Amino acid sequence: MRPALVQVLDALQFCVSDTHWHVPPFHLRPGEWATLVSGDSPDLIDPSGPLIRTLFTLRSPEHGTVFLHNQDAYALPYVGQQRLRAEMGFVPSSGGLLSNRTLRDNIALPLSLHARLTFKEEALRVDEQLDRFGLRAADHMFPHEVNGYTRWRACLARALILSPSIVMLEGLGDWDIERGQGLGWQRLREYRQRQDNAILIALPSAHPEFEQWFQQQGGHIIRYRIAAELPLQGATHR
């Protein structure tokens, strides 16, 4: 049995602004992909944001334990968490591209910090990634100069450039989901199959068509609940 890349040992429960998130225990192994979908129909804007941030060590949970790469992610010191994040790829819903850098420089940033490459090697890797995501024509442009889909692809290209073992995508909008067959999705699927990596997608609300399509692609659906009050059953107090 391959080790789980992501494992929520206890039911993960946390609270943000008087709203409780309840995620059942789950794991994600190499080569798998899963979608976290809200089981309720919450009257909340972007409930997947706090959830994926908690799983990505950006927001500490009040209850529950998140294991990433067989380590209790929140027990690590800041520098350890930093190293862990560098081994994962995160695509925030806002894109998160740095507005004062061109798309090329945005994609090159993780490489220049985390990989010891020469200028030439780095440029080669970035060129490959730009070609793979169809971004070569826009490589000199700034994020605000391109459309949302190009920004999303650039963000995905940046998240995948260090070949992370886990990729987490936050709160995709309907617009992104409809493009499930687009270039970005195609590359994401190839990436998972080629390198045995795990991919986790968090959705803000139920999306039957996407879920059906996702299950056809071999993905798991994990449902979480959101409520004003939730009993903390089975949770380990931290």
Can residue 90 be called a binding residue for other proteins (CB under 8 A)?
Answer: yes
Q: Which is nearer to other proteins, 46 or 211 (CB)?
A: 46
Site for other proteins in 16-75 (CB under 8 A): 56, 58
Q: Which is nearer to other proteins, 35 or 81 (CB)?
A: 81
Q: Which is nearer to other proteins, 39 or 96 (CB)?
A: 96
Choose one: 60-68, 107-115, 133-141, 206-214; the region binding other proteins (CB under 8 A).
107-115
The sign of the CA dihedral 5, 70, 114, 116 is negative
Can residue 113 be called a binding residue for other proteins (CB under 8 A)?
Answer: yes
Q: Distance between CA 121 and CA 210 in Å, rounded? A: 38
Site for other proteins in 129-168 (CB under 8 A): 158
Residue 233 CB-density burial (10 A; 0-12 exposed, 13-18 middle, 19+ buried): exposed
Can residue 76 be called a binding residue for other proteins (CB under 8 A)?
Answer: no
Query: Which run of H or E residues covers position 48?
Result: helix 48-55
Instruction: List, in order, residues 6 or more apart from 229 with CB less than 8 Å away.
Output: 20
Helix (H, G, I), strand (E, B) or coil at 186: helix
Can residue 86 be called a binding residue for other proteins (CB under 8 A)?
Answer: yes
Q: Assess contact for 69 and 39: CB atoms under 8 A.
A: no
- Give contact residues for other proteins (rule: CB under 8 A): 56, 58, 78-79, 82-87, 90, 92, 94, 96-100, 109-110, 112-116, 158
